[in-house]
Chains A and B, each alone.
Chain A
Amino acid sequence: MQGGVEQALPIAIVPFTQIPDVKLDVAQVVEDDLRRSGRFKPLDRRDMLQKPSAPAQVDTSVWRAQGIDNVVMGQVSKTEQGYFARFFLVDSIGGQQVLGYDIPARSVDQMRYVAHQIADLIYEKLLGIPGYFNTKIAYVSAEGIGYQRNFELIVADADGWNPRVVATSREPLLSPAWSPDRKQLAYVGFERGRSAIYLHTLATGDVKRLVSERGINGSPTFSPDGRFLAMTLSFENNPDIYVVDLKTGNRRRLTDHYGIDTEPAWSPDGSKLAFTSDRGGQPQIYEISVNGGDPRRVTFEGRQNLRASYSPDGRSMALVNNTDGRYRIGLLDLGSGEMRVLSNGPLDESPSFAPGGAVVIYATQGRKGAELATVSVEGSVRQSLRQSGGDVREPAWSPLIR
């Protein structure tokens, strides 16, 4: 973990009182979730002067003296109905309980999701925006070299736990993208010497080959309303951006240029798309109306800028910035044009915003190969995610389902 957390809210998450058959440290999962967001600065357990498990036990003066305004405590127990976690959030300034919930778990191994729900509730209560800890990430894992390489498409919890393989191939898999209802993944694969865009329905495992033209079939991305899929196709000469109506199958070409146009990303209101184009010589980010027309160049800083995605509020873009040969994740303020570098490089790629936009997940070169990391937009708190084996890349953060 690294990065400054000056604007982060001090908070204490006291270890919960737990029955012995619950091995998971629930408070630790809550603490990790909140810290990774960059919006909270949890107090080290060793610095806690008291360890209450209910509001009545809280000595607010002790916490106030340490500059801790918010204290979380709780218990994990079991009744005839099953396991549950009871937790409280106490405001040490007002001395009031501001949150208190019993959250049931169907089984012991569901306790991690209970912890994420607790983190969601605290996050929303204190920041006024929904938490995103009970979401998923999709990513691609690759092992082996050259033509012996094996590829897996994996869906895991947002903190990297509970990875589940949803597709495997001896040919490359890339560019997973979530449908807004979180029920489908679009991705790129190869079959019989051709690339294709597939639609995978997670609940059933059903896979549909949507497009497989001659040349490149790439960069699928759902429109915010889920009705359209933007993509890159090169069958009409060279890579251009197309929009496919998922209901009718109608296809519309959005860009027409002899440079490489690729990596489309929808604006949150669905009115325009950003894309990467090297029409000016080097790849830079352009915007185009969903109705077509002349694209507008939006990046000018750095030798190359690629693979942009809009923040959920539409005010900024996460992208890959290449300056002096270092590929790092950049955050471009679309109002001021100011670019802020969020990661260290040198080979970072595939930024994807968490729902709410507080955090960006991306792929980076770790000691043992490519791995996933998150960085908070505020304070640039960076942390690598729990890994499965192999080279792990192309994370895509799922939408929030309320």
Chain B
Amino acid sequence: MNSKIWLPAVLGLALVLQACGSNKDRTSSDGTYGSTTQTSEPYTDRIAPQPAPLDDSGFDTAAAAERALSTNVIYFDFDDTAIRAEYRGVVDAYARFLKDNPSARLRLEGHADERGTREYNLGLGERRALAVESALLAQGVSREQLSILSYGEERPEDLGHSESAWSKNRRVQLVRQ
């Protein structure tokens, strides 16, 4: 049973970190990739670099952590499950919060934009939630504190049909239970 649980974490982590480390093709204006070669092997087995720690050399660490914790949405690129560098602080803050509060529970709700089919998008939403879960587990958060739910494209934040709407819908919402 342990190995079953462990496997997605390893895969998810590999995913997150591979994508963090590489300069993936971004969505062009019409929503397509310029190249498919980068994305054709999303599960490459790479050695994970350590997630960057919160930059606490600044003025007010506590305030920064609180701000990151109040950010409860992580947005993603098209057809991608990589946590962008700008959200590392959010992940770190949640990891710290969960470790400091062992009774706290967090639900990771994965979402996708409307492009592609609904059931495939349930899969993409779950992958994104797993990516966030893996990042939290990597920082020592207990699995028992986390749960995952994919809504796919069923709960859009923005009902529009442009990239600006889609970029708001590709997300993981961190919901404190």
Contacts and interface: CB of A to CB of B under 8 A. Distances in A.
A232 interface: yes
A303 B9 CA distance: 28
Counting chain B CB atoms within 10 Å of each CB, the highest count among A145, A278, A320 belongs to A278
Nearest to A151: B154
Contact of A262 (B30, B33, B122, B147): B122
Interface residues of B, number: 39
Interface string B86-115: 000000000000000000000100000011
A216 B122 contact: yes
Contacts of B149: 190, 193-195
Interface string A314-331: 000000101011010000
B7 A263 contact: no
Given A193-B147, A325-B31, A394-B118, A282 B40 contact: yes
Interface string B10-54: 010000000000000000001111001001111100000000000
B127 interface: yes
A146 interface: yes
B164 interface: no
A306 B150 CA distance: 19
A236 interface: yes
A234 B155 CA distance: 20
Contacts of A232: 119, 122-123
B120 A260 contact: yes
A281 B42 contact: yes
A263 B116 CA distance: 12
B155 A347 contact: no
Contact of A234 (B11, B31, B126, B154): B126
Nearest to A239: B123
Nearest to B37: A281
A263 B117 contact: yes
Given A172-B155, A320-B117, A365-B161, A281 B124 contact: no
B154 A172 contact: yes
B123 A262 contact: yes
Contacts of A306: 116-117, 120
A215 B115 contact: no
B4 A237 contact: yes
Interface string A218-239: 1100000000000010101111
Counting chain B CB atoms within 10 Å of each CB, the highest count among A142, A145, A218, A307 belongs to A218
Given A258-B43, A280-B40, A327 B116 contact: yes
Contact of A175 (B7, B43, B114, B118): B118
B75 interface: no
Interface string A136-156: 000000100111010000000
B151 interface: yes
Given A216-B122, A260-B123, A365-B161, A324 B154 contact: no
Contacts of A280: 40
Contact of A145 (B32, B123, B147, B156): B156
A280 B32 CA distance: 17
A258 B44 CA distance: 12
Nearest to B109: A193
Nearest to A369: B159
A146 B157 contact: yes
B10 to A, nearest CB: 10
A151 B154 CA distance: 10
A157 interface: no
Contacts of A322: 115-116
B120 A283 contact: yes
Contacts of B31: 325
A145 B159 contact: yes
A325 B117 contact: no
A105 B109 CA distance: 51
Contact of A215 (B114, B126, B151): B126
Contact of A218 (B40, B43, B122, B148): B122
Nearest to A144: B159
Given A347-B114, A394-B118, A325 B4 contact: no
B39 A281 contact: yes
A276 interface: yes
B119 A218 contact: yes
A214 B148 CA distance: 8
Given A195-B122, A215-B150, A320-B116, 10 more contacts: A149-B154, A172-B151, A194-B149, A214-B148, A232-B123, A238-B11, A238-B127, A262-B120, A325-B31, A347-B114
30 contacts: A145-B159, A149-B154, A172-B155, A174-B154, A195-B122, A215-B148, A216-B126, A232-B119, A232-B123, A237-B7, A238-B11, A238-B123, A260-B120, A262-B123, A263-B120, A276-B117, A281-B39, A282-B39, A283-B120, A303-B33, A320-B117, A324-B32, A325-B30, A325-B31, A347-B115, A347-B161, A349-B118, A365-B161, A393-B118, A394-B118
Interface of A: 142, 145-147, 149, 172, 174-175, 190, 193-195, 214-216, 218-219, 232, 234, 236-239, 258-260, 262-263, 276, 278, 280-283, 303-304, 306-307, 320, 322, 324-325, 327, 347, 349-350, 365, 393-394
9 closest A-B pairs by beta carbon, nearest first, are A281-B40, A260-B123, A172-B154, A325-B31, A325-B32, A307-B117, A306-B117, A325-B30, A219-B119
